[in-house]
Amino acid sequence: MSLCTLHNVRFAGMATCVPKRVFHNIDDAPPKIRSERQRLARNIGIYTRRLCPDWQTFSDLAFEATEKLLAELQWNKADIDALIIVGQSPDYLIPATAIILQDRLQLPQTTIAFDVNLGCSGYPFGLHLVGSMIAAGAIKKGLVLVGDRAGEEKDPLFSDAGTATALEFDASAPPMHFDLNSDGSGYQAIMLPVGGHREPVEISDLVGRRDEGGYWRFGTDLVLDGPAVLSFSTQRIPPAVEKILSHVGMTKDEIDYFIFHQANRMINETIRKKLGLPEEKVPSTLRDFGNTSGASLPVTMTARLRETLSQGKHRLLLCGFGIGLSWGTAIVDIDSAVFPALIEA
Amino acid sequence: MDTQSMVTVEQFIEQFLAAVDFQDPVEVKSGTKLADLPEWDSLAALATIVLFDTEYGKVIVGPDIKKCETIDDLYALLG
């Protein structure tokens, strides 16, 4: 399955929570790599990031976002039928974090709760999953919690965020369109190679070495093949956007905003230019919030568009892409949704 | 007409230097070895891939760049 349309699903609201702690990619880097960091920040477009302190997890951020969203929606917790986490930063390897949050949020035990292991591409997949349950008539109200705690001081790219999106059954809701794809042949492009059953942690993986900036590197660190990710993103995403627009018979002019996963400036600008989209229709939060993995779409919608999306009707094209490899696009009409101000916790 | 016949190596070097955005200015001319450029790094490789894609409509990948020793080898990728 690739292209599909869901009916009777209303986008009711969204909340985003980021850590209070601001990390500056240049000023907070060791002095001997600051010149290199200036060039890096300029090119990846990321100057500040939000990093969780040691005690804080993704689920702490998602908890705050969900509580705020439910309060502003004035939804009764007893009416929540599903709580799905889309992310790769569980509290524990097992059990699923969504189940722990069911209790912490005091949602009923009748809530369907589980985690979905997707990263940067995850947002459209999460909307599709809960949207499908609603469209099928299986549930009435559902929450999708998307995000990660992927940020580290030593890595200038990733930043932390937790988000909550509320979907509900509404027979008068406009259709949501999706195009969701997977290419496992690229699984090595972004991965944590060590720590699973294929390659368990060895003692040697825990012996660090200092890099040129003085940061410790370990065998358990994330591995990212930059050129492979760049090529994947800039070659696959523009045609994917054209494909879904063509499938639903819309032109780019009929889309109010194009929200892309905030990967890095080089990738995002290449995609924007290839699609011929004006800057004002493609909001960005890279400069202030970095790459927040699957949360980057909600972060951008909240930080840049929340007042706009709170009033009237707007059509958004949402596109996530990355680890997997995996990429998904959705066209969603948002009408007077609830958008609490960005939460800092 | 292929791309290489439309762009001289000098023009290519100019665009290459703008793309890689080195922090410290460096002289690059035909014959310059990439390994001799202090800031020829993974970021510069990404910028080169984007340059080929957006300026010349040419798709190159990481391994193509790894095979290049000199600026002329990169220029030859224009084909």
The CATH number of the domain where A113 resides is what? 3.40.47.10
Work out the angle at residue A124's Cα, subtended by the Cα atoms of residues A119 and A126, and round it to the nearest 5 degrees: 75
Task: Specify if A200 maps to a domain.
Answer: no
Amino acid at A228: A
Amino acid at A235: Q
Q: Which residue in the set B22, B23, B49 is minimally distant from A230, CB to CB?
A: B49
Contact A262, A232 (CB under 8 A): no
User: Residue A116 is part of which domain span?
Assistant: 3-185+225-344
CB contact under 8 A, A39 and B62: no
Task: Specify if A208 maps to a domain.
Answer: no
Domain count, chain A: 1
Instruction: State which residue of chain B sits closest to A42, comparing Cα positions.
Output: B21
Rounded CA-CA distance B68/B40 in Å is 12
Write the CB contacts of A7 (distance below 8 Å, at least 6 apart in sequence). A135, A173, A175
The CATH number of the domain where B36 resides is what? 1.10.1200.10
CB contact under 8 A, A39 and B23: yes
Interface ipTM:
0.90
Domain count, chain B: 1
Residues of A in contact with B23 (CB under 8 A): 35-36, 38-39
CB contact under 8 A, B62 and A274: no
pLDDT digits (tens, 9 = 90+) for A214-264: 899 999 999 999 999 999 999 999 999 999 999 999 999 999 999 999 999
What is the number of other CB atoms lying within 10 angstroms of the CB of residue A187? 14
Residues of B in contact with A35 (CB under 8 A): 23-24
Query: How far is B46 from chain A, CA to nearest CA, in Å?
Result: 6
Write the Ramachandran bin of B13: left for phi over 0, alpha for psi from -120 to 50, otherwise beta. alpha
Residues of B in contact with A236 (CB under 8 A): none
Whole-model pTM: value is: 0.95
How many helices and strands in chain A, by DSSP H and E?
Answer: 8, 17
pLDDT digits (tens, 9 = 90+) for A25-66: 999 999 999 999 999 999 999 999 999 999 999 999 999 999
Rounded CA-CA distance A309/A283 in Å is 13
Task: Specify if A18 maps to a domain.
Answer: yes
